[in-house]
Structure 1
Amino acid sequence: MLVDWQGYKPGPSSPVTEGFQALRSTAGPDGTAPFLLGFGSVARVNPYQALLYRSFERHGFAVTPVFDVTRLRELLHLKPMASGVGLHLHWTSSVIGGARNEREAVVKSNGFLGRIDRFKESGGKLVWTAHNIYPHDSRFVDVDLALQQGIAERADAVHVMANATASALGDHLRLDGRKVIVAPHPSYEGAYENYLSRSESRQSLGLDADELVFVLFGALKAYKGLKELADGFDELCRRRTPFRFRLLIAGAADEAPIVQDFVKWAVAHPLVMIDTKTVPQHRVQNFLNAADAGLLGYSRSLNSGAALLYQTFGLPVLATDTPVLREALDPASTRYFDPHSGASSYATNLQELASVSKNFETAALQTSLKEIAPELVSTRFAKALAAKLGVNTLG
């Protein structure tokens, strides 16, 4: 028979179809039934979830995507086949994202929390990862914050990526320390093709060998400090320096006015190259291997996959100074700054990062990345989560 790819084709019977296949494909420890763990929202482009769950099968879990998290109760149909059923909730923006006004957002939020209550009353377990202070595109911040608080209070386990997360969230979210599991964002080791040389990557983009190239990689959003970057780079270009600079931008642009203004600036700038489409996985290496340093001047940030992606490709990083990022990133390869300190300060930080990148040695960075290798992070998280949820495991 012909191969029929499974797992990422949501249909009318989702998430039961995917969950059934996950149970069929996973062997529990000692021949026992595995614990069925659904996860959503599902990241289709970012391989973060695949890396996070990489070792879960060996620790008693069958992991399955849940494309519509409002249908979480349907996972319970598979409870007789499993040792238990749970939902690992990641980003919450889909819950109220389509609301037309605040009142509708509240209704959607309350309805979702009600579904969680019924799910738990029927024996389901809930895990939540605190990815952001609140959803990046939130239109009703207070409603989103109340939703997150309700989820945290109902969760059996709350996953954070740094010890500093609780203090970084401040008054936005109260966490019960007894529920918290700290598991860092894994590196992207092995997740992307990485065989092109620096010269081959630059050739594919039309860059010269002696240009000092900064890269901003990932979806273009207003919270990523785009105007500050534009002002800072313009100031840098006005200075007399020993370097030839180039700014490389790659990532899908949303429709926010500040993002569209940034795109127009980038397209018109002779020293900026921009691709506003989602970058295919096999093309990621072209952009990152062509660069000398990665930029992360976010105006609001908790965790950052882009920072780990830069460092996985051996790039030094200029990052917003936050406690979480200081804990998460390799100190020897990261320069921290305040992106709101003005164009002159931004330009100075870019110039100093350029000097660092010209003589950057990756040995210390590679040692640091070993501590957050996907296999290691996934194994530690699986063990900690199994203990919280009472999952039978041999690990």
Structure 2
Amino acid sequence: MRGIRQHGLGRSLYEECTDGMDALAAAGFSGEAARLLAFFPPVSRNPYQRMLYARGFNHGFACFPLADLGEVEGLPDDLKLVMHYHWLHRVFDKCDTIRQAKKATDHFLDRLKRQKDDGHTLLWTVHNILSHAARFPDEEKALRAGMADIADVIHVMNPQTRDLCAPQYTLDDARLVSVPHPSYQGVYGDYICARQARFDLDLNPDDKVFLLFGSLGPHKGTRQFLAAFDRLQEKLEGKGRVLVAGSPGAPDFMDEILALTSGRADMRLLRAHVDDQSVQTFFKAADVVVCPYPIGLNSGVMATAATFGRPSVVPDVMARSLPGTEDCVQAFEPGDMDSCHQACLQALEKAAEGHTAVTLSNWAAANSPEEISDRFFKALLPRLQDLP
């Protein structure tokens, strides 16, 4: 028996497609009702893709990861795919110069045009206006503008996506489907109590705990938040505590984070990937989850905070990205730490209100991965059927 399906481990794309068609036929789908969806790039540590595709078979979609785009051009003429693209900045992974990035952009967009000419359908999920750490912003704008022009269907999660992206590139309203980010209900362990979580992290019950969670890098505002924390600490009369947890970034950046946190009793730094059973410890120990990002559109960390009943502090462009949680989200002006501190204080007040956890718990249940996956495919299917 093979392990969990992961394309690229000894199986060709053609084999994945035939397996998918056989599985769909067994599920009662055939002909035009059976669709193959290949997603790129596949990301294993972020559960978003598995969550989104969780109910695909219920709607006639066999979904599988695609590691090599080149294989698509070798498929027989009778095999057509829905090509679902996610984090486009990965196109630049092997680029070191602007010239290379321009060439990668042109090559990728040419490939998309060939896929359409061959009869495949192109679907794009807009995760961000630009990637958090855009190394080639002008080239990435061109890449996204090209994708926006070529894609048959564009999936957005933040209701304001079109307007927020408009200064950089244009999204055609007629091709948009809006389905929000799912909660993480049932994805992460969720069984310890908040007091146990604080005990595990050596925190006191009356500490005011702020969590910064996720992979560590200079593009997320972590350094700026830590450097300015003393101003917030004064307002908290020394009761403030900061938890920073996530996979480490570049060595020079981590040196800066270590310099800011070392020797401080009010800051804790975990430089490691947090496994699915340990995520609950950090979120349940926190009063408030802070996303001090200078730019953003959607956030899995924000959705995780809501799943665990914790209010969040996010940049203003992100504040309405999870419909139904607005009352539990405090927005700040990106780049303004005083604004961020004020939002943190307001979020602490929300954390103390009993209805906040209830509101977020209701949101998490209504937007579970199963529910959002069903909504995604129900929204997608008629758009595909309307295509020429």
Instruction: Tell me the TM-score normalised to structure 2 length.
Output: 0.91
Match of 1:207 among 200, 203, 216: 203
Which of 232, 236, 241 matches 1:236?
Answer: 232
1:47-66 correspondence runs (5 A)? 47-66=47-66
Work out the CA distance in 1 between the residues paired with 2:328 and 2:257.
Answer: 27
Task: Tell me how far 1:350 sits from its aligned partner.
Answer: 2.6
The aligned counterpart of 1:93 is 89
Q: In structure 2, which of residues 274, 280, 285 is the aligned counterpart of residue 285 of structure 1?
A: 280
Deviation at 1:140, TM superposition (A): 1.3
Tell whether the 8 Å contact from 2:132 to 2:296 is kept in structure 1 after alignment. no
Match among 319, 332, 347 for residue 341 of structure 2: 347
Is this contact kept in 1: 2:158–2:320, CA < 8 A?
no
* Alignment match of 2:261 (pick from 263, 266, 272): 266
Give the corresponding residue for 1:357: 351
Which residue of the partner structure matches residue 322 of structure 2? 328
What is the alpha-carbon distance in structure 1 between the residues aligned to residue 18 and residue 229 of structure 2? Answer: 52
Matched, 1:337 2:335: no
Match of 1:163 in 2: 159
Instruction: Determine if the alignment matches structure 1 residue 25 to structure 2 residue 19.
Output: no
| Aligned-residue offset at 1:105 | 1.4
Conservation of the 8 A alpha-carbon contact between 1:131 and 1:303: yes
Match of 1:376 among 371, 374, 379: 371
Mapping 1:17-166, distance limit 5 Å:
17-27=15-25, 30-33=28-31, 34-74=34-74, 76-77=75-76, 80=78, 84-166=80-162
C-alpha distance in 2 between matches for 1:341 and 1:252: 26
1:246 corresponds to which of 233, 238, 241? 241
Pair 1:370–1:281, CA change in 2 (3 A)? closer
> How far apart in 2 are the matches of 1:56 and 1:340?
40
Structure 1 residues 16 and 134: alpha-carbon distance in aligned structure 2, compared to 1, 3 A threshold: farther
**Deviation at 1:335?**
1.4
Where relative contact order (Cα < 8 A, 6+ residues apart) is larger, the structure is: 1
Output the CA distance in 1 between the equivalents of 2:369 and 2:15: 28
Q: 5+ residue gaps in structure 2?
A: none
- How many residues are treated as equivalent by the alignment? 383
The one of 177, 180, 186 equivalent to 2:182 is: 186
Q: Percent identity, aligned pairs only?
A: 29
Contact 1:72-1:87 within 8 A present in 2 as well: no
The structure-2 alpha-carbon separation of the partners of 1:369 and 1:40, relative to structure 1 and needing over 3 Å to count, comes to same
Contact 2:212 2:290 in 1 (8 A): yes
Whole-Å Cα distance in 1 between the matches of residues 23 and 263 of structure 2? Answer: 52
Structure 1's consecutive aligned runs of 4 or more residues displaced over 6 angstroms after TM superposition are none
What amino acid is aligned across from residue 265 of structure 1 in structure 2?
A: L
The structure-2 alpha-carbon separation of the partners of 1:26 and 1:274, relative to structure 1 and needing over 3 Å to count, comes to farther
Are the counterparts in 1 of residues 245 and 271 from structure 2 also a CA contact under 8 Å?
A: yes
Partners of 1:52 and 1:14 in 2: how far apart?
24
Question: Residues of 2 paired with 1:308 and 1:237: CA distance?
Answer: 26
Displacement of 1:85 in angstroms is: 1.3
How many angstroms does 1:170 deviate by?
Answer: 2.1
Cα shift at 1:181: 0.7
Q: Is the Cα contact below 8 Å between 1:225 and 1:339 reproduced in 2?
A: no
How many angstroms apart in 1 are the aligned matches of 2:116 and 2:268? Answer: 50
Report if aligned partners of 1:303, 1:325 keep a CA contact under 8 Å in 2. no
Amino acid at match of 2:294: S
Superposed CA deviations along residues 56-84 of structure 1, whole A, max 9, x for unmatched, are 1111111010123454434x34x64x6x4
Give yes or no for the alignment of 1:317 onto 2:315.
Answer: no
Aligned pair in 2 of structure 1 residues 310, 69: CA closer, same or farther (>3 Å)?
Answer: farther
Deviations 1:119-148 (A, max 9, x none): 211111110011111222322111111111
Q: Which moved more, 1:290-299 or 1:308-317?
A: 290-299
Report if aligned partners of 1:131, 1:302 keep a CA contact under 8 Å in 2: yes
**CA separation in 1, counterparts of 2:122 and 2:227?**
44
Name the SS of the counterpart of 2:314 in structure 1. Answer: strand
CA distance in 1, matches of 2:337, 2:173: 38
Q: TM-score, normalised by structure 1?
A: 0.89
Any stretches of 5+ residues in structure 1 without a counterpart? none
CA contact under 8 A between 1:316 and 1:334: conserved in structure 2? yes
- Call closer, same or farther: CA 1:28–1:92 in 2, change over 3 Å: farther
Which residue among 191, 208, 216 is the counterpart of 1:195? 191
Q: 1:365 offset after TM fit, Å? A: 2.1
* Secondary structure of the structure 2 residue equivalent to 1:166: helix
1:338-366 deviation digits (Å, cap 9, x = unpaired): 243344x4434333432332334322222
Deviations along 1:268-298, whole A, 9 cap, x unmatched? 4221111111111121111111111111121
